[in-house]
Amino acid sequence: MNKIKKTLKKYVESNRQISCVTCYDSSFAKILSDSGIDIILVGDSLGMVIKGEKNTHSVTMQEIIYHSKCVAKNKKSSILMVDMPIDSYINELLAIKNSREILKNNVDIVKLEYKDEHKTIIEKLISNNIPVCAHLGYLPQFSSDQGDVRIYGKSDVEKNKILEQAKVLDKMGVDIILLECVESNLAKEITNISNTPIIGIGSGNHCDGQVQVLYDIIGVSENPPKFSKNFLQESKSVEEAIKKFKTHISKLNIQNK
């Protein structure tokens, strides 16, 4: 079992949800790690929140590596997860080359958006000891713009598809499955049957962990999603807001009982 799997297993067994927040620079990385955030994600949401674009599609390997280096300087004991940009994993060779390029920068795990055609690519990454998070549900890289944001898995066909994909990924041995905007009962079912830690965003309270975009939870985003909360409103500092987010996440399992 690799280091990431061991660490996450420990968190899941301690019966508190795993906290994950996006980050793009070293100052916020320090605040997140000092606040005890378990996983810091250099998301390709940087296309929107840093570059001011409509979607994630323009994010390049060079940009993701630049921001990863900035965050890595202050990640301390948090796990550093980094998104593979669109087109950086279109075949096995490219996926191996680019994920190694990202991991060189003190990065612990790469994340990619999963469609069935990525099965052999993920198998190749795993067989090369590359820690992988597979992203299911709403897939921003494969959507034209924010218009595709909706709850996924409401219809039987879509539900069975996502469930099947999660089972395949669990069996393959990915390190994390991330569910974005997945119907909450389906997210709960996937969490209950998987050995892999399930981290959700907009997918209900029953996953093994929760991920949020940093600027949504500190009131910077202009149009935050309905499922996010501005924790800065009730705090005196960004650090206090992040700690409140972490405490909120930790209590979800107790509330779920």
Question: Which residues are part of the catalytic machinery?
Answer: 180
Interacting span for ligand KIV (CB under 6 A) from 9-17, 41-49, 158-166, 216-224:
41-49
Examine residue 43 and tell whether it contacts ligand KIV (CB under 6 A).
yes
Residue 44 CB, nearest approach to ligand KIV (Å): 5
- Given the complex with ligand KIV, which of 43 and 204 has the nearer CB atom? 43
Query: For residues 47 and 66, what is the distance between their CA atoms, to the nearest angstrom?
Result: 13
Which member of 39, 103, 201, 238 binds ligand KIV (CB under 6 A)? 201
Partners of 19 in the β-ladder: 210
- Identify the H or E element spanning 21: strand 18-22
Give 103's contacts (C-beta < 8 A, 6+ positions apart): 110, 130
Residue from 19, 45, 55, 98 in contact with ligand KIV (CB under 6 A): 45
Stretch of 43-51, 74-82, 157-165, 219-227 contacting ligand KIV, by CB under 6 A: 43-51
Contact status, residue 36 vs residue 243, Cβ threshold 8 Å = yes
Q: Is 211 in the site for ligand KIV (CB under 6 A)?
A: yes
**22 touches ligand KIV by CB under 6 A:** yes
What residues numbered 97-156 form the site for ligand KIV, per CB under 6 A? none
CA distance 180 to 201: 5
Q: How many CB atoms lie within 10 A of CB 104?
A: 11
Nearest-10 crossing angle of helices 61-72, 26-34:
50
> What residues numbered 55-84 form the site for ligand KIV, per CB under 6 A?
83
Cβ nearer to ligand KIV, comparing 178 with 241: 178
Residues 6+ apart with CB under 8 A from 155: none
Could you say whether residue 88 binds ligand KIV (CB under 6 A)? Answer: no
Structure tokens at 218: 């500190």
Q: Identify the helix (H) or strand (E) that includes residue 118.
A: none
The phi and psi torsions of 254 (rounded to 5 degrees) equal -65, -45
Q: Which stretch binds ligand KIV (CB under 6 A): 38-46, 68-76, 157-165, 181-189?
A: 38-46
Give the number of residues in contact with ligand KIV, rule: CB under 6 A.
10
The binding site for ligand KIV (CB under 6 A) comprises 22, 43-45, 83, 178, 180, 201, 211, 213
